[in-house]
Chain A
């Protein structure tokens, strides 16, 4: 089966500073894939490369068959992104935030757009918060609303940047369950950029681990397998919450 995201030799260098080099792995359709690593290892940079916001210094990334340095518009049509801060538009209600992509990219009538946006919000458990502004809701609700907006056009791939960061364990577990449900019903491929160990172990089918010192990929595989059997000190330390 052709991978939905293929990364070959991705490298990012800013000036004289190498963030990572020669990163290669594939993500299959319908997978929940986590990109892990400590702070500053380049997780979010790799995510920006996949979205096409940052052209790789070297290497090739294709998303659903489209190169991120070629047809960026086609890449972005297949991807929904939840940014770390949510990045909801502060002057719009949650309903308006979710309806915005529908208004821009579909010819649905206004009533239909509202209906669809309400359903997306219901899907993430935010029916009651539809008329509220982002400033009026909690951090966990912001994350869920951002997922609803990213889902607006039912993209086959959803990239979530630190979805559980700053959330309490119960809200975080709820978000994990939501991701599993969406994968089951919509067949969406999820790429999570995270360092939240409980979430990684609970939902990720496979993961790739980046390391700032190694300036690249140091492990690729199933999280529980890596936790139990990896001999790489950094990987062992990460999965067992200890100093390397």
Chain B
């Protein structure tokens, strides 16, 4: 049996179980009836109400508010009357303002810039003070971070590198064939990979895999007050948590970069071999087109990207707010910030290389 409402002159009778599962249809009906009787005396008859739980009591209180005037209750069981009395005592007085959410710390541009400058400063200080704090570094922890950031990313880097080399070669072979310059695809792809695409793609993979992992791990530590525990123990979080991650990211970058370049060249070689060029001709073309300076440029870019990505991931984690949502936001911030920073740094390198004529 579900709850029901009967209305007569200046009287509303509620019957049946006034419990949460059966109040869905009755609620708006009852509130409308109480509101319609606003300004006139109203009697609420509960003699037919078999059970009144807190949801039923909430309906009665909501009807009182909707009616706004004197409302007489009849037929309430002693337990229902006691429950209503308890709820009336517990509820804030009618008309009192609803509490507002806790104001969050400022997230404006200036505040964000301040956080970043402070973090960068702390990291630089940690780096300068590292010789005196070598005992903060844990070898096993460093190897674990390096393994996760480097070795575990290797299959993904190899697969993406191979596919990118293959796609680039296919895309460029079509227009270049019109000029009989198919073989120069090797020059184009190798230069693109060494100077630009290799470091950029590895950086994007690092931002998505490693930067977000750093942010989530340190964000969880922040939420669990582990960072506060480190600080109170006198251990500098930048020395113990940030520097090893930055070093690990920079350490794995050359290896990942080499893997990306080699896989990309293999992908390109497969396409050129399908087009009828022998492997020796392709290798000769790559060697003649590329110089050690191209590889060094790619490597130096990669190292800067890796340091920036690790710093951004750690900063996002260490400045996370409270609660599980903050960890998710930190991971997102690490990936977005990492990719944007990579492209900005790449732009700076492009201008520098242009100026230097390299």
Contact = CB atoms under 8 A, between A and B. Distances in A.
A112 to B, nearest CB: 4
A105 B21 contact: yes
Contacts of A108: 20, 23-24, 27, 55
B28 A181 contact: no
B54 A133 contact: no
Given A105-B21, A131-B101, A186-B83, A122 B322 contact: no
B91 A119 contact: yes
**Chain A, interface SS category:** helix
Interface of A: 90-91, 93, 102, 105-109, 112, 115-116, 118-120, 122-123, 125, 127-136, 151-154, 181, 184-187
Interface string B65-96: 00000000000000100110011001110000
Contact of A131 (B92, B100, B326): B100
Nearest to B28: A109
A236 B348 CA distance: 76
B68 to A, nearest CB: 16
B99 A131 contact: yes
Contacts of B325: 90-91, 133
B23 A112 contact: yes
14 contacts: A107-B24, A119-B87, A120-B54, A122-B91, A123-B87, A125-B90, A129-B99, A131-B99, A133-B322, A133-B323, A135-B223, A154-B53, A154-B54, A186-B53
B236 to A, nearest CB: 25
Given A112-B23, A135-B322, A186-B83, 18 more contacts: A90-B323, A106-B23, A106-B55, A108-B23, A108-B24, A112-B24, A112-B58, A116-B58, A122-B87, A123-B90, A127-B92, A133-B322, A135-B323, A135-B326, A153-B21, A185-B83, A186-B53, A186-B54
Contacts of B53: 154, 186
10 smallest A-B Cβ distances: which pairs?
A: A107-B24, A135-B322, A154-B53, A135-B323, A90-B323, A122-B90, A131-B101, A90-B324, A91-B325, A112-B27
Contacts of A134: 323
Given A135-B322, A187-B79, A106 B58 contact: no
Contacts of B58: 112, 115-116, 119
The residue among A122, A125, A151, A181 with the most chain B CB atoms within 10 A of its own CB is A122
A130 B24 contact: no
Contacts of B307: none
Contacts of B98: 130-131
A116 B101 CA distance: 19
Contacts of A102: 20, 55
Interface size class of B (residues with CB under 8 A): 35 or more
Contacts of B82: 184-185
A147 B99 CA distance: 20
B23 A119 contact: no
B224 to A, nearest CB: 11
A116 B27 CA distance: 11
B57 interface: yes
Contact of A132 (B19, B20, B24, B101): B101
Contacts of B23: 106, 108, 112
